[in-house]
Copies of this chain bind each other. A is one copy, B any other.
Amino acid sequence: MKSLFFMFVGVAHLLSLNSGKAIYKNDISQRTFQEIKNEIASYEDVAKAIINLAVYGKYQNRSYERLGFLVDTVGPRLSGSKNLEKAIQIMYQNLQQDGLENVHLEPVKVPHWEREEESAVMLLPRIHKMAILGLGSSIGTPPGGITAEVLVVTSFDELQRRASEARGKIIVYNQPYTSYGITVQYRHQGAVEAAKVGAVASLIRSVASFSIYSPHTGIQEYQDGVPKIPTACITVEDAEMMSRMASRGSKIVIHLEMGAKTYPDTDSFNTVAEITGSKYPEQVVLISGHLDSWDVGQGALDDGGGAVISWEALSLVKDLGVLKRKLCLVKGSLSTLSLMLYLK
């Protein structure tokens, strides 16, 4: 396939192990960077026409209204859920109504994890019901939950130094927030590192610079050969409080219950739509994104906004009739891996 790829929307499935990354692949015509730059610059008028149509013209606010409708009608759309399938059907019907070409659904398997009921109560040094959010792919606790003493650490290094204290404990990570890219390691690998030193569960301070007693969720990763232990995020406030309690020498005990379950991969669909360009119909510009969202939000971000923006991009370009290459939208329950398979 002769293709020029631009992917401006991350395509990481929320429950996959991959993060969205832009893919750049040289046109096989071996054009120089300067030639490509010149071609892009020649589209200035087209870019202005698109902006005018979307921001000031006939379709002013349309992408926002479409996002609002999708979010309000469906709600959160975790992969494997009925909500995601409903969103795919809405997207599919809307792409057809916009008169795009070759609109179709392609079967794909997606992960299916559900958090079910979850709760955490501090029993010592005082009774305190804690706000938690289980992490995606976490196992649940055994029925009746886990009651264990807490070991608070602020880093993986501290966990290593205090490894002899960790057996049978719930590890609480109170890592300071530096940047998302650095701090998110505690969410990704916190459970594995805790399990390696014999802990029975791990609770991670939400990866956030700010909190209103609001725990965050996100994906975490188990490792082959390391026992799987339940893991959840706690609020910045509770992580800081337990650090203070530990520094005063208080014994902290938590009762944790999580009903999280991983089901077999579920049937889903990628949604595809195209417009064929006038000058280079054999060349493809690919726009992609994922429709799924975490189960505890509105589904407006990651990747609701991106989903609608990329859908809107096709519809705007079609309405303007300015297309030279083929524009292809791939949208759905899509991991980077399945996008790769799609491209083959």
Asked whether B214 lies within 8 Å of A75 as measured between CB atoms, the reply is: no
| CB<8 Å pairs between A and B, sample of 15 | A68-B244, A69-B248, A71-B241, A72-B241, A72-B245, A73-B125, A74-B126, A75-B128, A211-B212, A212-B214, A213-B297, A213-B298, A214-B214, A237-B298, A241-B298
Give Cα A298 to B213, complex, Å: 9
Report B-chain residues with C-beta under 8 Å of the C-beta of A212: 211-212, 214
Asked if B214 and A73 sit within 8 Å, CB to CB, the answer is no
With A and B bound together, what is the CA distance between A211 and B298 in angstroms? Answer: 13
> Could you tell me which residues of chain A, from 246 to 285, have a CB within 8 Å of some CB in chain B?
248
Interface residues of A in 199-255 (CB under 8 A from B): 211-214, 237, 241, 244-245, 248
**How far apart are the CA atoms of A245 and B73 in the complex, in Å?**
9
CB distance from A76 to the nearest CB of B (A): 10
Contacts of A211 in B (CB 8 A): 212
Interface residues of A in 294-310 (CB under 8 A from B): 297-298
Q: Which residues of B contact A297 (CB under 8 A)?
A: 213
The one of B73, B126, B213, B214 that contacts A126, using a Cβ cutoff of 8 Å: B73
Task: Give a binary string over A99-136; 1 marks a CB under 8 Å from any B CB, 0 the rest.
Answer: 00000000000000000000000000110100000000
In whole Å, how far is A234's beta carbon from the nearest beta carbon of chain B?
A: 13
